[in-house]
Amino acid sequence: MDELLKKQLQITACKVRMGIIEGVYNAKSGHPGGSLSIADTLTYLYFAKMNVYPDNPKLPERDRFVLSKGHTAPALYSVLANRGFFPVDELKTLRHIGARLQGHPDMKHIPGVDMSTGSLGQGISAACGMALSAKLSSDTYKVYAILGDGEIEEGQVWEAAMFAAHNKLDNLVAVVDNNGLQIDGKISDVCSPYPITDKFAAFGWHVITMDAHDFDSIEKAFNEAETVVNQPVVIVQTSTKGKGVSFMENQVSWHGTAPNAEQYEQAMSELRAQLAELEAN
Amino acid sequence: MADLVKKATRESYGEALAELGDKYENLYVLDADLAGATKTGIFKKKFPDRHIDCGIAEANMMGIAAGLSTTGKIPFASSFAMFAAGRAYEIVRNSIGYPHLNVKIGATHAGISVGEDGASHQCNEDIALMRTIPGMTVINPADDVEARAAVEAAILHDGPVYIRFGRLAVPIFHDKTTYKFEIGKGEQLTDGSDVTIIATGLMVYEAIKAAEELKNDGISARVINIHTIKPLDKELVVKAAKETGLIVTAEEHSIIGGLGSAVCDAVCEECPVKVVKIGVNDVFGHSGPAADLLKEFGLCSENIVATVKKALAEK
């Protein structure tokens, strides 16, 4: 990846992480761990990959994004705000009464949200429907979706996986965020969905793996995805839950817990330091 | 009464889709391996490129329909009521209802008249399930003419619509040349002053027959067809409550949560009168010929007549 672009994306991703912490802290609830693990991928998609139009969010030719792991809405909201869909300051209203920023993505009220999600396993089906629609009408937009690794324990995901392969939805790229943790513990202990790559391959998908926190790896994966024809693509990303905030990393307890004032200060100070370092070099 | 031509509303559904496919180019039909039974195969034959078979995966089918609708297409997701409303309930609620997407659900084989397949396939709970979803329109047509009209009305309506169709051939009593269908508007079929029979689906014709028989016994029964259970035509129902003082509801559905409950909700607020509900009495069905099951479960004009007489005696 171009070094300048990489630096810009790293800076943006750091701001996206700050927005996640800001939102969850002000909401006094929400899901920071899985939001932080997808921050880099979302930043890449919205700042380097997808055709999106913040001033005209529903433009028919836009690329679509579905956050199938809808509980990590703080990440989606932060990336949308940083991309200009709505003010960054609005992130502080997350989950507040009267706010647009609902606990889970709400397509009816939040600019840039292409599908309402939150109940796991459902977003991927809607993404398949959008991709199928493009095929039926010879539209050229692409559809991206992010699923959790715990989420793929839902049976509907595999109904959708079968459907996407059967219908040769090569305009669909699904990312599985393999941070290894779900609410009740390690995914390998709760009800293991492993081997994830083999399962998708067996369902007829083109499988790519990537490091979720390395923009070179991310770019390579999404570029490869574009070369695939007649098959849907899944990118299984190895990620760190809580990435970027030291005390949240790889801690299942940060799946759905908001930081208190002290923890908020620590998290923000770590992220500010990361940002300063990136901007200094 | 003269013998009327009979047709199952599932056939009306499939034929209407095929007819309307020319007029509405953004109409798409989804199935879950039941195109033959839901009669959407008729549409598939005419518009193979606009028919999507999702396989035996109703949850995913509802999500596919949701995704299609976000791009301006109008999908009819079709399956048996048991699977469309039952199995896929939460997907309908969260992926279609919550974002108020323009998805139409064509649910066939509703009620006990599924017959021989038995209780596992006799969905007597779908109206209850669907009417709890905010913004969901719930329609239960009574015959071929009404079913066809309902399909086009659903296409023209912006928002999610659940339409319930039957497997059993039922008399066509509406005149297609004059019938006007409007979502949310009930149809008063006969005037009457002693009692109002409010019916839906295949029970409407049974109510008409019951009213004729009651007339022979000097009882004046008003018959109202409520094809749209949600939004309910409260005005018509409350007017009937005020003017006749007694309501008997009749539906091929559980007495819990269906038409009878919707009518009770309306009258208890605005004009509390006695409401007697005829429906499936909180039990599962079983296998048997549809006509025999309808009689056994009291979903027939004879039971309406008896219920009305009993209620009037207690009035």
**A127-142: pLDDT as tens digits:** 999 999 999 999 999 9
**Is residue A162 over pLDDT 80?**
yes
Specify the pLDDT at position B133: 98
**Is residue B2 over pLDDT 90?**
no
CB contact under 8 A, B67 and A133: yes
CB contact under 8 A, B65 and A116: no
CB contact under 8 A, B95 and A114: no
Which one of B60, B76, B79 would you mutate to disrupt binding with A, by most A Cβ within 10 Å of its Cβ? Answer: B60
Nearest CA to A31 out of A213, A192, A246, A259 is that of A259
How does pLDDT run across B304-313, given as a tens digit for each residue?
Answer: 999 999 999 9
Closest to A116 (Cβ–Cβ): which among B49, B59, B98?
Answer: B98
Nearest CA to A113 out of A147, A90, A79 is that of A79
Under a CB-based contact definition with an 8 Å cutoff, are residues B254 and B128 in contact? Answer: yes
pLDDT tier for residue B315 given thresholds of 50, 70 and 90: confident
Judge whether B6-171 and B187-308 match in fold: yes
Q: Which residues of A touch B70 (CB under 8 A)?
A: 64, 107, 114-115, 126, 129-130, 133
At the second CATH level, the architecture of B187-308 is 3-Layer(aba) Sandwich (3.40)
pLDDT tier for residue A281 given thresholds of 50, 70 and 90: confident
Give the total number of structural domains in chain A.
1
Instruction: For residue A140, give how far its alpha carbon lies from the nearest alpha carbon of chain B (Å).
Output: 13
End-to-end alpha-carbon separation of chain A, Å? 17
Cβ of residue B71 closer than 8 Å to a chain A Cβ: yes
CATH code: domain of residue A26: 3.40.50.970
Q: What is the rounded average pLDDT of the residues A185-212? A: 98
Q: What is the rounded average pLDDT of the residues B143-165? A: 98
CB contact under 8 A, A107 and B70: yes
Q: Which residues of B touch A124 (CB under 8 A)?
A: 63
CB contact under 8 A, A129 and B65: yes
**Is residue A14 over pLDDT 60?**
yes
Instruction: For residue B50, give how far its alpha carbon lies from the nearest alpha carbon of chain A (Å).
Output: 8
pLDDT tier for residue A232 given thresholds of 50, 70 and 90: very high
**Is residue B260 over pLDDT 90?**
yes
Task: Spell out which chain A residues touch chain B, with contact meaning CB-CB distance below 8 angstroms.
Answer: 60, 64, 106-108, 114-116, 118-119, 121-134, 136-137, 139, 155-156, 159-160, 162-163, 166-167
Under a CB-based contact definition with an 8 Å cutoff, are residues B37 and B84 in contact? Answer: no
pLDDT tier for residue B219 given thresholds of 50, 70 and 90: very high
Instruction: For residue B92, give how far its alpha carbon lies from the nearest alpha carbon of chain A (Å).
Output: 10
**Is residue B1 over pLDDT 60?**
no
**Domain spans of chain B?**
6-171, 187-308
The answer to pTM > 0.90 is yes
Specify the pLDDT at position A113: 98
How does pLDDT run across B42-76, given as a tens digit for each residue?
Answer: 999 999 999 999 999 999 999 999 999 999 999 99
Q: Which fold has domain B6-171?
A: Rossmann fold (3.40.50)
Q: Provide the mean pLDDT of chain B.
A: 97
Catalytic positions of B: 58
Specify the pLDDT at position A84: 98
3-state secondary structure chain B: CCCCCEEEHHHHHHHHHHHHHHHCCCEEEEECCCHHHHCCHHHHHHCHHHEEECCCCHHHHHHHHHHHHCCCCEEEEEEEHHHHHHHCHHHHHHHHHCCCCCCEEEEECECHHHHHHCHHHCECCHHHHHHCCCCCEEECCCCHHHHHHHHHHHHHCCCCEEEECCCCEEECCCCCCCCCCCCCCCEEEECCCCEEEEECCCHHHHHHHHHHHHHHCCCCEEEEECCEEECCCHHHHHHHHHHHCEEEEEEEEECCCCHHHHHHHHHHHHCCCEEEEEEECCCCCCCCCHHHHHHHCCCCHHHHHHHHHHHHHHC
